[in-house]
């Protein structure tokens, strides 16, 4: 492969993503409104979050600056909720939360408060927050999160001898619910695991004995 730096030279193009607004927002015909979200650059997002970060000298209970190893100790305070609301206000192209007419209607002239004013019904702000943050790549979508959880669970189950492995075995073979297994004391869990191991090595159930005998004879199922 040719080491050509032009591969890394790309123009920044504005990317707009559409996503449904909360259900209470509908057009004249009763159809759901589609929001438009501008994908902000990582640099722009960092600048916004940095603007809500305050660095100040740390003081002790006597009001004196903390000194550690001969140096003054500083503390950092982040107004994360406000920073996120600023990001939402800047990313939303439609509705434009910085529009004068919209701000006049809500009598709000602070862009960081507009998301709370416009999406004021229960659950609306949380929905918009998740939608915008997912569009910006700051959060995983619900489907991605679920897929990751499934893959993580599969890895835990595949670890032979672990509690997750035995919870899986007892659920599949005997219908013991995993939440019931988790509630058991360690001693009780070990008893169930030991019982399953013993049953596998020396079956005491007649149907299992017959099944194993038929397998030895080459019977296919």
Residue 102: which CATH number?
Answer: 3.30.2220.30
Q: Which residue is associated with the tokens 């596998």?
A: 200
Better-scored residue on pLDDT, 33 or 204: 33
Structural domains in the chain (count)? 2
Interacting residues of 121 by C-beta distance below 8 A, sequence separation 6+: 22, 24
At 40, the pLDDT band (50, 70, 90 cuts) reads very high
Strand partners of residue 92: 37
The answer to whether 57 and 65 are in contact (CB under 8 A) is yes
The answer to whether 199 and 205 are in contact (CB under 8 A) is yes
Residues of the domain holding 16 = 12-135
Numbers of helices and strands, H then E, in the chain: 10, 7
Other beta carbons within 10 Å of 193: 18
pTM for the full predicted model: 0.61
The answer to whether 66 and 72 are in contact (CB under 8 A) is yes
Does position 36 have pLDDT exceeding 90, yes or no? yes
Query: Which pLDDT score is estimated for 211?
Result: 57
The rounded distance, in Å, linking the Cα atoms of 37 and 93 is 6
Q: Are residues 28 and 113 in the same domain?
A: yes
Better-scored residue on pLDDT, 47 or 167: 47
Cα torsion 104, 107, 109, 115: sign: negative
Does position 61 have pLDDT exceeding 90, yes or no? no
Q: Are residues 79 and 131 in the same domain?
A: yes
Q: Are residues 96 and 169 in the same domain?
A: no
Say how many Å lie between the first and final Cα of the chain, rounded.
54
The rounded distance, in Å, linking the Cα atoms of 21 and 36 is 9
CA 217, distance to chain mean position in Å, is 52
Q: Show which of 74, 104, 135 is a domain's final residue.
A: 135
**What pLDDT, in 10s, does the model give residues 186-215?**
888 888 888 888 877 776 665 555 555 666
**What pLDDT, in 10s, does the model give residues 87-112?**
999 999 999 999 999 999 999 999 99
Continuous segment of H or E residues that includes residue 34: strand 34-38
């Amino acid at each position: 492969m040719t080491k050509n730096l032009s591969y890394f030279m790309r123009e920044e193009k504005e990317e707009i993503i559409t996503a449904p607004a909360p259900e209470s927002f509908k057009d004249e015909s009763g159809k759901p409104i589609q929001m438009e979200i501008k994908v902000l650059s990582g640099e722009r997002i960092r600048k916004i979050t940095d603007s809500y970060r305050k660095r100040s000298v740390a003081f002790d209970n006597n009001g004196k600056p903390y000194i550690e190893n001969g140096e003054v100790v500083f503390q950092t305070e982040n107004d994360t909720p406000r920073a996120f609301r600023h990001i939402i206000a800047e990313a939303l192209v439609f509705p434009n939360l910085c529009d004068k007419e919209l701000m006049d209607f809500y009598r709000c002239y602070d862009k960081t408060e507009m998301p709370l004013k416009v999406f004021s019904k229960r659950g609306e702000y949380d929905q918009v927050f998740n939608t915008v943050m997912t569009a910006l790549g700051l959060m995983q979508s619900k489907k991605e999160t679920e897929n990751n959880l499934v893959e993580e669970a599969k890895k835990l189950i595949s670890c032979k001898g672990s509690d997750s492995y035995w919870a899986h075995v007892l659920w599949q073979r005997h219908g013991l619910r995993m939440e019931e297994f988790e509630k058991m004391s360690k001693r009780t869990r070990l008893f169930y695991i030991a019982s399953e191991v013993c049953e596998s090595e020396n079956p005491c159930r007649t149907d299992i004995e017959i099944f194993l005998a038929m397998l030895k004879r080459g019977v296919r199922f």
